[in-house]
A and B are shown apart, each in its own frame.
Chain A
Amino acid sequence: MTKGGVLKRIAGPVVTAVGIEAHMYDVVKVGKEELMGEVIKIQGENIIIQVYEDTSGIRPGEPVTNTGLSLAVELGPGLLTSIYDGIQRPLSVLVDKMGDFIQRGVSAPGLDHSKKWDFRPLVKEGDQVGPGSILGEVQETNIVHRILVPPNVKGGTVRSVKAGSFSVDDVICTLDDGTTLTMMQKWPVRVPRPVLEKMNPTIPLITGQRILDGLFPIAKGGTAAIPGPFGSGKTVTQQQLAKWSDAEIVVYIGCGERGNEMTEVLTEFPELEDPKTGKPLMERTVLIANTSNMPVAAREASVYTGITIAEYFRDMGYDVSLMADSTSRWAEAMREISSRLEEMPGEEGYPAYLAARLSEFYERAGRVKTLSGKMGSVSVIGAVSPPGGDFSEPVTQNTLRIVKVFWALDAKLSQRRHFPAINWLNSYSLYLGSLQDWYDREVSPEWNSLRSWAMEILQKEAELQEIVQLVGSDALPEAEQITIEVARMIREIFLQQNAYDAVDTFCDMKKQYAMMKAIRQYSDLAYAAQNAGVTPQQILSVKSKNELPQIKFIKDYVPALEKIQKDMDAEFNALRSAA
């Protein structure tokens, strides 16, 4: 065999082979059991391979063969609702093939090659097609899966195209130069899929989470990082985003995360309804689950697998949001493999190329004009788990240099059961400027100033709290006592949101606006009353405002809210006339 070689050394997930010709990132089959691996270093005779499966019992002298291909994913109908491991093996198929525990040496294609899909062509004979052109459609779930000419196919004139029921291997279209096209394409995961043009993000990704949409929005095609020490509600926040964000397709990568939590996602998603279509949320979702005890090399690959799938749906003209939980685990996988390669470590043992890998990954996000001229986007939301909650560590720092939105989770807030535990003082969004027009147009021209007002009050509260810590709240001037109260209302009514409450879990912009406006109304009335000589005690004990928190839990909130607002007016009127 020209391509065959033998193993020379095995030390954990990294093995050395000799006697094969290989290129970087070629996929190789290792040992008698043909474990899947990838070439990561070439050193004279020695080919160094990271193996995606457990290497126990593998001996020197066992065969190694090079497939000559790089690690690629299968893209086509059947992706949606799938649950994959880090190298796109469907977990359900693995259960059928090897039982409840992950054994090794089993390969499984990413797509079901026997299933037939109804293909409706959108091109006809004689049409010109180029890379990325839409050939036709398949109704995959409630999502229409557009079949594209692969970006690496030159294109030409359509010689024949067929409608009907096909598997992903059947030829559906032939071009005049003899190129045959199927509904499936393969794409190497480490190579970004090409686009026509990257556009500026101007539309927010609505998540239904008040602190995100209201204060720190992410744009469609944007990037965000959620760093959080453990136990600060990072995972819940990410899952909320996956459930409620108004992207058309959601790709969720559980990278080195907890098995039980993955199970929660796997059992919950199929039951959840998409708030827009009423169909199961799973119908627009692709899940990638590589738990912490699954092989480390597959964890390294999982992030690339996920983003490639996301890009593929973007190329159809969809808005895709991708959650990676957690990129720290991904970085750790890089570190582990790098240290097995005995590479010179950079900061904290991470490889020197950590920053480059992170920025390459986030740069694959964006709002784009696809090759077929449609608009699509991939928004990337990456969780970071800084060791010891220390944001100065390399993964967090290198991430922050790239991403535009930062949702700073705060363990102190979560200890106080303030959820989502996102710190409003440390978080930021650099998209506010570019999204302003959208909020003016779609929510209210008042919204942007209302948002600034709320941020100002919160900022002021933080300053006042320092004084309160020293002298107590009674010692503050009257106006500032009101500020403290208004800030408390913003925090407890607007910012706190209960992910487990059927109504409060999702809050649209209209309701967000109404709630913030009601708080503003109290604030305006309170200051006016104070000017009119009403005492702070009286202002703070206005009864109607105590009803405001309940608004969160009411589905048809408008009548209740109007009543509170009316009562508030009346109460303050009474106070003013008494004073």
Chain B
Amino acid sequence: MKEYRTITQIAGPLVFVEKTEPVGYGELVNIVLYDGSIKRGQVLDTSNELVVVQVFETTAGIGKDSGIRFTGETIKMPVGRDMLGRILSGGGKPIDGGPEIVPEKRLDITGAAINPYARGSPNDFIQTGISTIDGTNTLVRGQKLPIFSGAGLPHNQIALQIARQAKVPGSKEAFAVVFAAMGITKEEANYFMEDFERTGALERAVVFLNLADDPAVERIITPRLALTTAEYLAFDLGMHVLVILTDMTNYCEALRQIGAAREEVPGRRGYPGYMYTDLAGIYERAGIVKGKKGSITQFPILTMPGDDITHPIPDLTGYITEGQIVVSRELHRKGIYPPINVLPSLSRLMNLGIGKGHTREDHKKVSDQLYAAYAEGNDLRGLVAIVGKDALSERDRMFLEFADLFENRFVRQGYNEDRTIEETLDLGWTLLSTLPVEQLVRIDRDLISKYHPKFRQAAKAEG
């Protein structure tokens, strides 16, 4: 393989190489340092005169004397069955002291888009055991549902609880977890690893760790390696894969860093104009393919800078993903776990996975009614702050109390509490029964007479 020593400029993570043979766009590049060690990079811009290489590791040690080898192929990842249970670096190398991965296949890490026509419709209900998700923001297989959180909030616990408890009721199909950490601290990583080990989840997991002190640019490929692995497990081996990506904010920072180094015209808040397309290239790799057994469900986690949901990172994410789970600082301060605020949370695929044949016929309407009543009660809190509780009408007072009850009974649950969907819905009914029946305008009479605790008891008494 030809080696070039024509580096003319090194700026941030970018290396500029002159006068090469034709080099392919996106090609994998090895950079050989004076001590013989090798760093990896990728071609970002290519012409006969100049090639721009983005280095995935720190550029420390790279100089004009370094050799550049173009490998002639785009970045591929060796994947194999024995990856399960392994811990790899953010660049895909084993760091658990175990042997190298025995590749059964080498796959392009960019991944091709699933043809929309070949996609299967996601409609298998996933029970996470968390009421605010199962009841009001239901997750289905093949969905990508991010957790929007903030610094210092328990999003990691929530992600772990989901990873631990998630199941399709009544199904015993093979599943796996692919966990990709981008720029999280060693401490956070340990927290995840310990939980995986304690619960035995590690055996079914592939872990990619790019820690806070690992090169930021490596974060660009970490999620792609993780998703390539997930695609192999799902579509080649037929497993149902849950992918947890944390923290996407760090990924976007790395993207901005490269954009700045390339002196690109920045978009909003300095993030590159192609960030939407770039993020879509990650998030859209969730789904189901018709006629194939497996599925990829994504749980990206991101911390909203300044808890600002309109920040470009959550904003663009929300436009690609199928909803979001919003973790609230206010609920967290009230000591409620999991502090999921259902009002701004949403699952766009919920209606595909609930109702008769999936969960229960009353699911949609109970969920809507809970939402509406909680929203109304929550609005009234603002009013109470001004006029005091006594000035409220009786109806308003009931809704106000409902909001408190909703947070304390429905939202609040234990870290290890795994509620079935029936428990969640019945709990919803119990809460709704504190309101007069005629206030339940979103539920039709048939369902009320079938599920409302008052009528159920009456039916029992008669029976």
Tell which of A83, A289, A293, A348 has the most Cβ of chain B within 10 Å: A293
A411 to B323, CA, bound (A): 13
* Bound-complex Cα distance A525 to B283 (A): 55
Task: Decide yes or no whether B106 CB sits under 8 A from chain A.
Answer: no
**Contact indicator A256/B393 (Cβ below 8 Å):** no
For residue B402, give the distance in angstroms from its CB to the closest CB of chain A: 14
Give the distance to chain B from A15, nearest Cβ to Cβ, in Å.
8
Stretch at the interface among B108-116, B187-195, B331-339, B415-423: B108-116
CB–CB B48/A8 < 8 A: yes
A329 vs B321: C-alpha distance in the bound complex, in angstroms?
A: 14
**B120 and A263 contact, CB distance less than 8 A:** yes
**Are B48 and A61 interface neighbours, CB within 8 A?**
yes
Q: B1 on the interface (CB 8 Å rule)?
A: no
Contact-residue size bin, chain A (C-beta under 8 Å from the other chain): 35 or more
Contact B117 A91 (CB under 8 A): yes
A1-17 interface mask toward B, CB cutoff 8 Å, 1 = contact, 0 = none? Answer: 00000001111100010
A119 to chain B, nearest CB (A): 29
State whether the Cβ of B371 lies closer than 8 Å to any Cβ in chain A: yes
Q: Which residues of A contact B267 (CB under 8 A)?
A: 335, 339, 348-349
Give the shortest distance, in Å, between B382 (CB) and chain A (any CB): 7
Number of interface residues of B (CB under 8 A): 88
Complex Cα distance A410/B223, Å?
33
B457: CB under 8 A from chain A?
Answer: no
Question: Is there contact, CB below 8 Å, between B376 and A550?
Answer: no
* Chain B: minimal CB distance from A271 (Å): 11
User: Which residues of chain B have C-beta atoms less than 8 A from A60's C-beta?
Assistant: 22-23, 46-48
CA distance in complex: A54, B286 (Å) = 19
Q: Does A178 contact B (CB under 8 A)?
A: no
Q: Name A332-352 residues within 8 Å CB distance of B.
A: 332-333, 335-336, 339, 342, 345, 348-349
Q: Are A348 and B346 in contact (CB under 8 A)?
A: no
With A60-B22, A101-B115, A293-B284 as given contacts, are A385 and B343 in contact (CB-CB < 8 Å)? no
Residue of A nearest to B282 (CB): A293
Chain A 240-278 interface mask (CB, 8 Å, partner B; 1/0) = 000000000000001010111111101100000000000
In the assembled complex, the Cα of A187 lies from the Cα of B27 at a distance in Å of 38
Docked CA distance A431–B189 (Å): 59
Beyond A8-B47, A387-B268, 11 extra complex contacts between A and B, CB < 8 Å: A11-B45, A59-B46, A100-B114, A102-B112, A231-B323, A259-B116, A263-B120, A291-B116, A291-B284, A472-B383, A473-B396
> Shortest 6 CB-CB distances between A and B: which pairs?
A388-B310, A292-B280, A56-B26, A9-B47, A91-B117, A101-B112
A residues within 8 Å of B by Cβ? 8-12, 16, 54-62, 83, 91-92, 94-95, 99-103, 230-231, 235, 254, 256, 258-264, 266-267, 289, 291-294, 296, 329, 332-333, 335-336, 339, 342, 345, 348-349, 385, 387-390, 411, 414-418, 468-475, 492, 500, 546, 549-550, 553
- A selection of 7 A-B contacts at a CB cut-off of 8 Å is A55-B25, A58-B24, A235-B348, A258-B321, A260-B121, A291-B113, A472-B391
Chain B interface (Cβ < 8 Å from any Cβ of A): 22-27, 44-48, 73-74, 108, 110-122, 142-144, 235, 264-268, 273-274, 276-277, 280-281, 284-287, 289-290, 292, 309-312, 315-316, 318-324, 343-344, 346, 348-349, 351-352, 364, 368, 371-372, 375-376, 382-383, 386-387, 391-393, 396, 438, 441-442, 444-445
